[in-house]
Amino acid sequence: MDDVWYVIGLLKQEVEEHNKTNKRQFTLEQAILSHIPFFCCPNHFLSREYQQDIQRYLYCKKMSVAPYPGSFGDQPKNWISKCNIIENMLNYVEQKQTINQNE
């Protein structure tokens, strides 16, 4: 998987460079989702840990509860990063579904 994460790092650099010089902006999520089939099997990104994180995120959002005891400042930084990634991907998927329904 190290080589896969290396390519994702390259994609991140490419997106950042592109967004600096072009009007059309891309997100890292878009770049990864559209390029994954060219350098690895998407199943490499499906793990029990990731699925549990997504389930926890959705449950907490639906029930309006914190995933861990305490306020925002008490939440693990790793969890906050995961939440941002999950939310960005869910928003991206929702936008794509909306576009496909309107076509």
Specify the DSSP element, H or E, that contains 8. helix 2-21
Show me where the domains of the chain are located.
Answer: 1-45, 47-103
Q: What is the pLDDT of residue 29?
A: 82
| Measured distance CA(27)–CA(57) in Å, rounded | 21
Residue 31: closest CA among 45, 11, 1, 13: 11
Q: Residues 89, 78: contact at Cβ < 8 Å?
A: no
List, run by run, the mean pLDDT of 10-residue segments along the chain (103 residues): 86 94 89 88 80 93 92 90 90 83 78
What letter would DSSP give residue 71?
-
Lookup: tokens for 3: 């080589």
Task: State how far Cα 90 lies from the chain centre.
Answer: 8
* Phi, psi at 22, each rounded to 5°: -130, 150
- Integer Cα distance of 21 and 45 in angstroms: 30
pLDDT at 95 (0 to 100): 85
Distance CA(57)–CA(102), nearest Å, equals 28
